[in-house]
Amino acid sequence: MLIRGDLVAVVAPSASPNVHDKLQRGVRFLEEQGLRVRVGVSVLRERTYIGRGRDLRADDLNRQLRDRKVRGVFCLVGGFSAYEILEKIDYRAIARDPKVVMGFSDNTSILNAIHARTGVVTFMGENVLWGLSERRKGSRERFLRALMDPRPLGKVEDELEAWRDAPVRRARTVAGNLSTITALTGSLFAPVYRGRILFWEDIGIGADDANAALWQLRLTGVLARLRGMVIGHLEGLDEENSDITIRHVVLTAADRSSWPIYKTGAFGHWRPSLVVPIGIRARIGRGELVFEESGVSSR
């Protein structure tokens, strides 16, 4: 659990654009929660989008993971390049000293790699640059509840649309951006899916993109191992020019299973997003979604 006065770090696992004002707003958001903020060198130097600064970004992240004074690590921005540092992360460091690691979109590759390699709970929640910097009321409330309160997160009160309901299933959580986690399939850093409830969202995809991704998960045996699915907001989705809907795609790809499938706007790009811990116990079914743990321990 983060407490007032804790030192937290902002790093850029994905290469980042130069957006100084938004960075400062994001830092202020963290400071307003009573946290002390260290901005990593990966944020302050070599601001390119993809393919450069791999060692810089990995070294910066590892420096924070190895520093016992740092109790939280927050990703600056997403993109398409967090994959580049998965081989270089010091997984032993965070296993020895678990701490809050939160990110979104492309950075869910890092969150899942850490959890798969160490068992440490990580957090899918808004990136600093395009999420926390916006100071949305809902973002602040969910940040405080998920990361600075040791009580179980409890029932998700946001509206849930049952695309397929079923009796209650209890399982641990796994979460990520659909395009990102699908790209990890078959790698040494793939998410843990067996016996899990899968939370996913995406941006700029159509029904055909989701269809391809979900069938990759089906054909590699992932869907058969799940216990439930929760689909978040799909920013930029245009179904008017498609012959099929995302709902049809999901139900078809999952037609060999019987677990619950819910749709919600509770998390996703460009909105106050629910913080979804990866690796906590939850239950789903009969129209409800309940997080039975907090993901953070009191200290």
Domains and CATH numbers, the chain: 7-147 (3.40.50.10740), 154-291 (3.50.30.60)
pLDDT at 112: 98
pLDDT at 243: 80
pLDDT at 16: 60
Chain centre distance of CA 16:
18
Instruction: Please state, rounded to an integer, the average pLDDT across all residues of the chain.
Output: 92
pLDDT, tens digit, for every residue of 1-50?
898 899 999 998 876 655 677 888 999 999 999 999 999 988 876 555 54
Q: At residue 131, does pLDDT exceed 90? A: no
Q: Which two tokens stand for residue 131?
A: 């999420």
Phi, psi for residue 43 in degrees, rounded to 5? -85, -35
Q: At what angle do helices 246-253 and 207-219 cross, to 10 degrees?
A: 10
pLDDT at 80: 81
Q: At residue 51, does pLDDT exceed 50? A: no
Q: At residue 208, does pLDDT exceed 50? A: yes
Q: At residue 52, does pLDDT exceed 80? A: no
**DSSP codes joined into one string, 26-84:** HHHHHHHTT-EEEE-HHHHS---SSSS-HHHHHHHHHHHHH-TTEEEEEE---SS-GGG
- Residue 298 banded pLDDT, cuts 50, 70, 90: low
Residues whose CB is less than 8 angstroms from the CB of residue 253 and which lie 6 or more positions away in sequence, other chains included: 211, 214, 215, 217, 218, 223
Question: Is pLDDT larger for residue 15 or for residue 111?
Answer: 111
Phi, psi for residue 213 in degrees, rounded to 5? -65, -45
pLDDT at 70: 98
Chain centre distance of CA 254:
22
Q: Which two tokens stand for residue 18?
A: 């130069």
pLDDT, tens digit, for every residue of 159-203?
999 999 999 999 999 999 999 999 999 999 999 999 999 999 999
Q: At residue 59, does pLDDT exceed 50? A: yes
